[in-house]
Amino acid sequence: YAHAMGNGPGGIWDYWETIYRYPKLIGGCIWEWCDHTVVVDGVQKYGGDFEGELTNDRNFCCDGLVFADRTFKAGTLEVKAAYAPFRIQVLTDGIEIQNYFDFTNLSECRISYQVEIDGTVYESAACSLDVPAHEKGKIRFEKELPKICRYGAYICVTVADQNGISFVLQEKIPMEQSGEVKDRQQCKLLETENTITAAGENFSYTFSKQLGNFTSMIINGRELLCDPVRLTAFRAITDNDARMADYWSSRNIWQGENLDKQFQKVYAAEAKDGKIILNASIAGVSRRPVFRYQLVFQIFTDGEIRFDLNGKVNESAVWLPRLGFEFALQKENNRFRYYGYGPGESYCDSFHHALCGWHESTAEKEYVNYVRPQEHGNHYGVRSVSFPHAFTVNADQPFEICVSQYSTDQLYQATHTNELGNSKAVHLRIDYKASGLGSASCGPALPECYRLQEKDIHFEFELVPSDCD
């Protein structure tokens, strides 16, 4: 019922919600336990890499729930979370816990919980619960919860059985979220035939009217960008994306949107009423526009940039792998901190193993050594991400990020890990959304609820210079 090839499987949680709901369902088999590879000079090899092969199935033997050396990946941990023998539901004054053990009373387990608000521990305790198998119990909060938070409120419950095996689940606590209100003045814009510039005490930005985005962002005397900022829709195909490759990429010249060879058309770009207003579209080479949009930038005297994207995906286009902005940052911007699901990679159909809160990482730590290089390192449910020497990105609505030492094209073109080469930049994605992972390399198509298939897009976020916020 699930295929663990490469970055996956996704959607496991939904299966187990159904399995727990209906007594006649008992589970299923995941194909398969471990990747099968032969390591040669530190590189994982697979079918087609050896002389004398009469036949092979390429990397289809690399479909394990664990890597060939039996180490875990995010998919492993997602399965463990789905298999957790309990579920929690948030109530107004506590939580209800459902015991899914067949024979074990939760009194035989060690239980602890922790309430976090905006990433700070608000309440934590250990407790003992007398909850027979298949019954429900309740944990009451010791403190009254506040009414408002900034980023989010969550409860995390840990259940450890007699063998010391721990299961951890987290649920969101419904709470009103307040945005930050600022009294700001718009920065004066200087427009020429080809550029629009804005400058202040600690920043200088150059916007290209031909490319439709920023070509230079200097903050505190440092140039941040290696390449112009781009709005893109492609991701390096995962093993479970393989069936969509013909529709997304240029692999099949008759079907694909050619998103791996994307161009942008600028219809109009101007400075008006203190804003940069761009009307443009993106399309794969020799294809009709897949996304037509208006992008409005507001730049303020403190260096903050407000991105306001509104657009429409072509009605006849297939669902998209992702949609968002790509920044190629100077290598010194390697470290970052974010509020979202982590520390491991997370996607809309594979985030239950992760915890929503504050996490710190680097581009190198985000790399996942999949046998065939592919999309990885995404983080779901993000509200803020900051780079100490660059900027902070905040949004009132959750967005998604990816920070990598490799570009999308490097990951997409490589068939083995030793083909990735080096990159001159730290590659950051600020995404409206990314589609889920699924199991479609050897299973059903990705469920519609996990596809980026909406046609009307609205995405707002603010970029604030790190030393000016």
Q: What is the model's pLDDT at position 469? A: 44
Which element (helix H / strand E) includes 153?
A: strand 153-160
The number of beta carbons lying within 10 Å of the beta carbon of residue 263 is: 13
Q: What string of pLDDT tens digits covers the 469 residues of the chain?
A: 899 999 999 999 999 999 999 989 988 899 999 999 999 999 999 999 999 999 999 999 999 999 999 999 999 999 999 999 999 999 989 999 999 999 999 999 999 999 999 999 999 999 999 999 999 999 999 999 999 999 999 999 999 988 889 999 999 999 999 877 777 899 999 999 999 999 999 999 999 999 999 999 999 999 999 999 999 999 999 999 999 999 999 998 888 999 999 999 999 999 999 999 999 999 999 999 999 999 999 999 999 999 999 999 999 999 999 999 999 999 999 999 999 999 999 999 999 999 999 999 999 999 999 999 999 999 999 999 999 999 999 999 999 999 999 999 999 999 999 999 999 999 999 999 999 999 999 989 999 999 999 999 999 999 999 874 4
Q: What is the model's pLDDT at position 28? A: 87
Q: Which residue has the tokens 């053990």?
A: 101
Q: Which two tokens stand for residue 351?
A: 């985030």
* Residue 404 CB contacts under 8 Å (≥ 6 apart), including other chains: 363, 366, 367, 376, 377, 411, 426, 427
Hey, is 439 helix, strand or coil? coil
Q: Which two tokens stand for residue 329?
A: 């940052």
- Report long-range pairs for 91-95 (Cβ below 8 Å, ≥24 apart): 91/138, 93/140, 93/141, 94/138, 94/139, 94/140, 94/141, 95/138, 95/139, 95/155, 95/157, 95/171
Q: What are residue 106's phi and psi, to 5 degrees?
A: -65, -10
Q: What is the model's pLDDT at position 443? A: 85
